[in-house]
Each structure stands twice: as structure tokens, then as C-alpha cells.
């Protein structure tokens, strides 16, 4: 570890004191963090229109590895639905949540085909079966309502929905809260 250069001139004692206080503060923060259990981040999806499949796939991967919890409590459309592929223990659904699906578009024909295939392979079986029963992923949106999805996703308790430990929205730029 490299320590900052400490001046011993006229203000030398002050610099040493500031440095010592900073070290003690860092040590105290480290032991406090170690003593308290880490709480996972909570991401609330209430109106997400989706976007680029690759960017959403990266977000979902970060959320999965951070063991963050995703609460669906509003519209989750298009690439946002990739969050349905998270492990069951990382998701819950609240009344009013809904999901909208369609095929990938906006890139080359080859990339669109890849994106559509990727989404279908990322979904749990119950979602893929529902999509197939409702005509597959096409140009038009197909809508899955709370009543159906709540048969497969655990419902969020009222307390969880209203008072999450860390409330954050998944921003269009893909920023996931960091601890």
C-alpha cells in the first residue's frame, strides 16, 4: 500500500492528524461493513418499455450476479421481459404488473433473428409456452397479465412493494445500483 507523502513543514502536524483521522475512519468503516450483513439491491420495474436486447441481456446478467431482487409492479415490455429469466428467488410480482412481448427488430435481419431466438431461450418454460400458445413472437405485441404471471412468480408482499430496502428504477442507460 502506498501512503501519501506527508509534509513536516509548518503544517506538518496538521497533515499527520488529518491522515491519521482518515486512516481511523477507513478502518472503522471496514469493520462496520464486515459486521453488518450486506443487503441486496432491489430493482422495481414499474414502466419499462424495453430496448436493445444485448444491453438488457447485460443488465440481467449484472442483476443476477449481484443477487439483486427484481419487483415487477407495472409494465415490463419488449427486452425488459428478459428479467423473467432470473432465478425464481430473485423476482416477485405485484398486482398491476404486466408483460408485453414481440420479436426483435431494428437491426439486420440476422441480428433480429438472433435477438428473437435469444429472448425465447432466456425465458423460463412457462413464459415460452405462453408465448407459443399466443401466436409466438411477431411484429405485434402480445400481452401477459398479472393474473397469469402470478401463477408462476411469487407475489411481493405489500411491505416489500411499498418499503424496499433500496428502491431503484432500471434506467434506459442500464445503470444498476451499486453498493
pTM of the model: 0.67
Question: Exposed (0-12), middle (13-18) or buried (19+): which is 168, by Cβ within 10 Å?
Answer: middle
pLDDT at 40: 55
In this prediction, residue 101 carries a pLDDT of 97
CA distance linking residue 172 with residue 166, whole number of Å: 18
Helix, strand, or coil (residue 152): coil
> What pLDDT does residue 97 have?
97
| Grid coordinates of 66 | 449481484
Domain range list for the chain: 9-38, 42-168
- So what's the pLDDT on residue 15? 37
In CATH terms, the superfamily for domain 42-168 is: 2-enoyl-CoA Hydratase; Chain A, domain 1 (3.90.226.10)
Identify the segments of the chain with pLDDT beneath 70: 1-40, 158-179
**Of 79, 144, 89, 87, nearest in space to 118 by CA:** 79
Q: Print burial letters for 142-165: b (CB count within 10 Å at least 16), e (below 16).
A: bebebeebbeebeebeeebbeebe
Position 174 scores a pLDDT of 46
Amino acid at each position: 500500500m502506498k501512503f501519501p507523502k506527508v509534509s513536516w513543514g509548518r503544517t506538518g502536524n496538521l497533515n499527520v492528524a488529518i491522515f491519521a483521522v482518515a486512516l481511523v475512519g477507513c478502518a472503522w468503516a471496514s469493520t462496520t461493513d464486515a459486521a453488518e450483513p450486506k443487503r441486496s439491491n432491489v430493482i422495481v420495474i414499474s414502466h419499462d418499455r424495453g430496448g436493445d436486447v444485448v444491453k438488457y441481456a447485460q443488465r440481467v446478467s449484472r442483476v443476477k450476479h449481484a443477487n439483486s431482487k427484481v419487483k415487477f409492479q407495472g409494465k415490463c415490455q419488449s427486452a425488459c421481459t428478459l428479467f423473467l429469466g432470473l432465478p425464481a428467488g430473485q423476482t416477485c410480482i405485484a398486482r398491476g404488473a404486466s408483460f408485453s412481448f414481440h420479436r426483435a427488430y431494428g437491426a439486420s435481419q440476422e441480428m433480429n433473428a438472433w435477438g428473437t431466438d435469444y429472448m425465447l431461450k432466456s425465458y423460463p418454460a412457462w413464459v415460452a409456452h405462453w408465448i407459443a400458445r399466443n401466436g409466438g413472437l411477431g411484429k405485434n405485441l402480445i400481452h401477459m397479465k398479472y393474473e397469469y404471471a402470478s401463477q408462476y412468480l411469487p407475489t411481493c408482499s405489500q411491505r416489500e412493494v411499498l418499503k424496499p430496502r433500496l428502491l431503484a428504477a432500471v434506467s434506459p442507460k442500464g445503470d444498476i445500483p451499486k453498493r
